Structure formats: C-alpha cells, structure tokens
Chains A and B, each alone.
Chain A
Amino acid sequence: MDTLRKAVTRTRVEGLVILLVALGYLWEAHNVPEFYQLPGVPGPTTFPRLLGIVFALAGLWLLVSPQELKVWKKAAGAPAAAQTPEPAPAAGRGLLRRIAAGWHFYVMWAVILAYLWAMPDLGFPLATFLLLVAFIFLLGETRWHVVLGLAAAATILIYVSFRMGLNVRLPLGILEAWFK
C-alpha cells in the first residue's frame, strides 16, 4: 500500500510543479514589452499564452484527478500489482539506504554532469579520459590495466578521428601548453 500512496503523492507533486512552471511561463510571457505588440495582429505572446493555459490545465488535472480511487480499485483487484518497479525493493526503506544501494547511479549522473560542465575548460582529451575511466569502472570493470588502457585508447581514437577526420574543433584545454 505504501508504494501506491507514494505514486499518488508523486503525481500530485508533479502536477503542482507543472502548474507552477505554467504560471511562471505565463508570467514571463506577460512581461514581454508592450511595444512588440501591434494592435489587431497576433503578437509574440499569443501562441505562448495558449500553450501556457493548456500546460496549466494538464498540471491541474494531475493535481485533482481522481487517481486515488483508481489506484485503490486496482489494488483491491490485484494486490500484488507491480505499481512501482523499484529495482531494489529490499533496500527501499529510508532515503539514505536507498541512496546507498544505488550510489553508483547517482555517481554516474554526477560524472556525466561534471564532464559536460568541465569539458570546454579542461580540454577534450583529458576530460574524456577521466570520464571513460570513471564510467568503465562504474560499469563493473575492476581490472585497472583494462580500464586505463581502454580509456586511453578510446580517447586517442575518438580525438584523432573527429579532429582530423571530421574536422570538429575539440578544445585541448589545459593540455594546450604542452602541444605548443
């Protein structure tokens, strides 16, 4: 029952977030200066206003739709319904324990975001090498010579083929000094 209630609560929160985003969007559309608006002609805010209203209505629907009823009915019909396919239900109690069970998942996202953030400054070769090392390790390869060798080989191969072959400008970053 707990997971069911959680699912319903999540939907409600999502509805609220959507509603707030819609209101923010409409507010922002409202703030477009008046002088862009020509009288009698649909201006830059006509279409966004329509979208904002539809989005707000959909969010409102999530917020107030009679989902509990449906969910309870479903639960009565099929008690073992797999409502939320949590991968590790055994460790599902308590936020901390869940995070601990799926730590590599959060680390993966952190690594990806850090890569996207730092790549232009750090330089493509170095950042990519670090990303590959971290990711291959996170995916369960623990032999260090394989991890390092594969990461280095892939970095060089990708860099050379995209830089030379396809003429994509890839930043060297802090390695730049070395090559000059």
Chain B
Amino acid sequence: MFEHLLNGFAVALLPTNLLIALAGCLVGTLIGVLPGLGPTATLAMLIPLVFSMPPATAMILLTSVYYGSMYGGSTTSILVNIPGESASVITTIDGHKMAMQGRAGSALAIAAIGSFIAGTFAVLMLTFVGAPIATYSLHFGPAEFFSLMVFGLCTVASLTGTNVAKSVITTCFGLMIATVGIDLVSGAARFTFGNPFLQDGIDFVVVAIGMFAFTEVIVTAREVREGVRPEIVKAEKVWIQWKEFVYSLPSILRGTVFGFLVGMLPGAGATLSTFIAYNLEKRICRHPERLGTGDIRGVANPESANNAASGASLVPLLTLGLPGGGATAVMLGALMMLDITPGPLMFQKHGAMIWALIASMYVGNALLLLLNWPLVNLFARVMSVPAKYLMPIVLVISTIGVWSLSYSEVDLVLTGAAGVLGYYLRKYKYPIEPLILGLILGGRMEQAYRQALIISRGSNWIFLEHPISLALLIAAALFLLLPTLLKKSKQFMAARETSVEAA
C-alpha cells in the first residue's frame, strides 16, 4: 500500500497537479469566504472545465476546491459573523465573540490548525480504510447495490430538509428525471415527448447549475437589495499561544473523530457534523459553561469536525460510489463524465488515480495551512467585493458552463426551468440536494434493480432475501423514521434547517 501511496505522491507532486491543487485551494477559500456562493454551485460550474483534464488532475481540482471552501468558511464566521458556508454556522457562536474581544488572531489560527489536523486525519483514515471497504463491497451483487443506494438516498432524505415527505418527493423527482431519454437496454425512448434533444437524457449539470447557481444568484440578489452588510473586524496578528493550543487540543481531537464518523454517513455532511460535534463537546468537556462566550474550544471543535467530515464523505464516494451530499454528488457526476464509475472496483481499475488523489489531499492540507496563515486578512477583505458586481458575473459563467456541455439551446431552456423550479423548492423548503443525488444515481440504480430482478426472475423478494440487502433496507427505513423520533431535539432540527438554507 505504501508503494501505491508513494506512486500517488509522485503524481500529486507533478508541477501541473501541484499548481492545480494550489489554484483549487485558492478558489475554494475564496468561495468559502464569499457568502452566497457555496461549494456545490462552484463545483457544478467547474465541471465543463474539467473535461479536458486527465482524471487525476480533475479530481484534484474538485476536491481541493471542496475542502478549501470548508477552510474559508471559518474566516468570515469569525471576522464578520457571517458564515461563508453552512458548515461554519456553529463557528460564529464563539468565533465572532472572540473577534469582538480582540482575539480574532487566535480564533483564526486555531481554526486553521484544527482544520489541518482534522483534514490530515481524514485523509489518513481514507488511506487505510478505503481499500478494505472497497474489497468488502466487492461481494455485493445487484440486489445489495440497489439497497445500498436506497439506503444512501434515504439517509440524505432524512437528514436534509424539515419534512421527510418533501425530501422523499425531491429524491423521487430526481430519479424520475434520470429516466428521461433512451433506455440503454431496450432502446425505448422514454418521456421524451418526441423531442430528439431529450433522447440523450437530461444532463445533471444542467439541473445542478439551474438549481444551485441560478437560485443562489437570485437569493443573494434579494439579500443585497434588502439587507446591509455588517462591518469586518480586522485580525491584528494571526498567532496562538502554546497554552491556548494545549487547552483546545482535546476539542480538536474530539471534533475530528466525531466529524469523521458522522461524515462517513451519506447525507449527514459537514453541516450536521458540526452541530453534533459541538453538542457532544458541550456535554463532555470541562467547564461547558464557557462555551458560547468566546471560548477558543468553540472554534476548534466545529472547525475540526467540518474538515474531518468533508474528508470522510469521500470514503463512501470512492469506495461505494455513494455520494453524501450536493458537493460529492457533483464530484460523482464529474467522474462519470470522465468515464470512471466510482464503486468497489475503483481501487482496482483506477488505483493510480485514487492514490494520486489521496496523496494530493495531504499536499492540499499543507498548502491550505501555508496559504491561509499569511493571507487571512486579504481573504476577509474579498468579502467587501460587492455582491451586486459579483452575482451577475456568476450568472454569465454558469450559463457558459451549461452552453459548453453540448452547445444546445434546449439545455439553456432546461436550465432556466430548473432555476425557476429550484427557487420555488428552496423557498418552500423542499431540499434540492436529494434531487441532484437522485438524478445522478438514477441510471445506476435502475440498472441494479433490473439486474437483480433478472437474477430473481422478476420477484421483488430478492431484496429481502439477501441478508446484507435486507439490513440496508431496514436501516433505510429507520433513517426515514429518525426525524419523527428526534423531533424534540432542537439542535437536530436546527441543523437540518440550516442544511436546507445553505444547499
């Protein structure tokens, strides 16, 4: 394995890939800093760019943007009291109070250190856990895979949004969109309404850009017209005392472990992990009453948790082909466009690429630490780029993203429709991430379903007769009931709401 990893480093340290990782980290940090531009929308916009790259480089770009945004989100939480990402909402509680007390420097430093430790831990786990999980899942047949995907979709549906019925609806709608086009087995044109442009199906980038990028532009535009942007606190010197570091180290470690465990679950994602980790921290740590008053542990803990979780979400993505949320779903889509189907066979078939990706994540974490330390004030100032100039440009670049897919006018019109629908869904709290997830998984899910039915000669009982499949289906059902059981937990409900808001 170490041989693989060393080979991976050889690829990751190629000048091009290093440059791409650096650019990705920069872009990621920037979008993390900018409220109103989330990682999912940015990744969707980057997809057309990624086409011409070798797969390893493409994945390095996408992942470095992804965890860069987790890094950048904390900066604005601390300095401006506006979380750049939903995953940094918790950080504002203690982080901004620290900034008001003149301790912004320590807060930023501990956020960077915590993220670094957590990010490195997550990659380390991915290094050791990834291949065994993939090997285990090689025993999965079509029935198990179908149930696994049902499980993944159910966890996402249960953990995002305020109403499980609404999440189920958007998931199902995503799967339905995935069935549009020519059926690859029989050649039947389905749901095309005689329109030849629909025969290829509806590209997920079209829907993702419409629903994430366009709606984000409109939502931000409304905020710009209605709200005022608060003032930025300046960090004097980003440094931390040894005493503070020792004080917050246990919180970092706890945040890292909880974040990783929660992050592995499809659908939980970085946002929920911060809520859970912070909540647990309150119960476990000494002097819990200090949390919430500008305690450094209140920054260290959630910032470690969200970075560990975003690393952890790559585990099910790379080993099982199961994305956990919007951002990883877009990555999965990108991989499939590059003709790589993530799943158990990925470590065998595309081992070189995976190890290069893992190696580049070590590099990326180090880069982020080096990058953020001196530049943190500069990044914070990016916030003052007025959204009224930025948002129209985001709009144009998103449109180019859709156009460059296949130079099709129908795609543009569909994007507009997806945007309007997406805005309605967002406004009335129908979560969008399950829809994108369903759209991306739909094809493979149908394939698994049909293969399983062929094996069982048409009997649906096959999904209950195979023990792994049965266990997954039971777990899926439990997850759908979970919100009803946990309704009393205010933290949990708040976390779900935020994950909708921030999509």
User: What is the interface residue range for chain A against chain B?
Assistant: 35 or more
CB distance from A129 to the nearest CB of B (A): 10
User: Which B residues from 366 to 419 make CB contacts under 8 A with A?
Assistant: 387-389, 391-393, 395-397, 399-400, 403-404, 407, 409, 412-413, 415-416, 419
Asked if B477 lies at the interface with its beta carbon under 8 angstroms from chain A, I say: no
B191-208 vs A, CB cutoff 8 Å, 1 = contact: the mask equals 100000000000000000
A55 touches B172 (CB 8 A): yes
Docked pose: A2 CA to B134 CA in angstroms:
54
Q: List B contacts of A72 (CB < 8 A).
A: none
Query: Which chain A positions have C-beta within 8 A of B389?
Result: 136, 141, 150
CA distance A113 to B420 in the complex (A): 9
B420 touching A139, Cβ below 8 Å: no
* Residues in B whose Cβ lies below 8 Å from that of A87: 222, 226
CA A150 to CA B386, docked complex, whole Å: 13
Total contacts A-B at CB 8 Å:
149
Indicate whether A164 reaches chain B with its CB closer than 8 angstroms. no
- Name the distance in Å between A114's Cβ and chain B's nearest Cβ: 9
In the complex, the answer to whether B412 meets A116 with C-beta atoms within 8 Å is: yes
Q: In the complex the two chains form, is B392's CB within 8 Å of A58's CB?
A: no
Whether B186 and A44, one on each chain, are in contact in the complex, defined by CB atoms closer than 8 angstroms, is: yes
Determine whether B280 belongs to the interface, using a CB cutoff of 8 Å to chain A: no
Q: Mark B158-193, 1 if CB is under 8 A from A, else 0.
A: 000000011011001101100100010111101100
Q: Does A99 contact B (CB under 8 A)?
A: no
The answer to whether the Cβ of B464 comes within 8 Å of any Cβ in the partner chain is no
Closest chain-B Cβ to A143's Cβ sits at a distance in Å of 12
Is A78's beta carbon under 8 Å from chain B? no
Interface residue A154 (Cβ < 8 Å from any Cβ of B): yes
- Our pick among B191, B395, B409 for the contact of A135 (Cβ within 8 Å) is B395
Interface residues of B in 449-503 (CB under 8 A from A): 449-450, 453-454, 457-458
Question: Which residue from A43, A62, A109, A136 sits with its C-beta under 8 Å from B388?
Answer: A136
Instruction: State whether A46 touches B450 (Cβ < 8 A).
Output: yes
A93 at the interface (CB under 8 A from B): no
Q: Does B340 contact A (CB under 8 A)?
A: no
| Cα A32 to Cα B180 with chains together (Å) | 12
Roughly how many angstroms separate A166 CA and B397 CA in the complex, as a whole number? 13
Within 8 Å by CB of A112, from B191, B419, B428, B457, lies B419
B168 touches A48 (CB 8 A): no
- CB pair B225–A104 under 8 Å, yes or no, is yes
Could you tell me if B169 and A138 are in contact, using CB atoms closer than 8 angstroms? no
Task: Scan residues 16-37 of chain A and give those whose CB is less than 8 A from a CB of chain B.
Answer: 18, 25, 28-29, 32-33, 36-37
A105 to chain B: closest residue by CB: B222
* Inter-subunit contact A58/B397 (CB<8 Å): no
Closest to B447 in A: A47
Residues of A within 8 A of B396 (CB): 128, 131-132, 154-155, 158
Q: Which of B48, B190, B218 contacts A44 (CB 8 A)?
A: B190
* In the complex, chain B residues whose CB is within 8 Å of the CB of A89: none
Question: Does A174 interact with chain B (Cβ within 8 Å)?
Answer: no
The list of the 10 closest CB pairs from A to B, nearest first, reads: A139-B388, A44-B183, A135-B392, A36-B188, A47-B446, A44-B188, A116-B416, A116-B412, A42-B453, A36-B186
Sample of 22 A–B contacts (CB below 8 Å): A29-B190, A32-B190, A43-B188, A44-B185, A46-B453, A47-B446, A47-B450, A109-B218, A109-B423, A112-B214, A116-B412, A119-B399, A120-B412, A131-B396, A132-B392, A136-B388, A136-B389, A136-B392, A162-B400, A162-B404, A166-B49, A170-B403
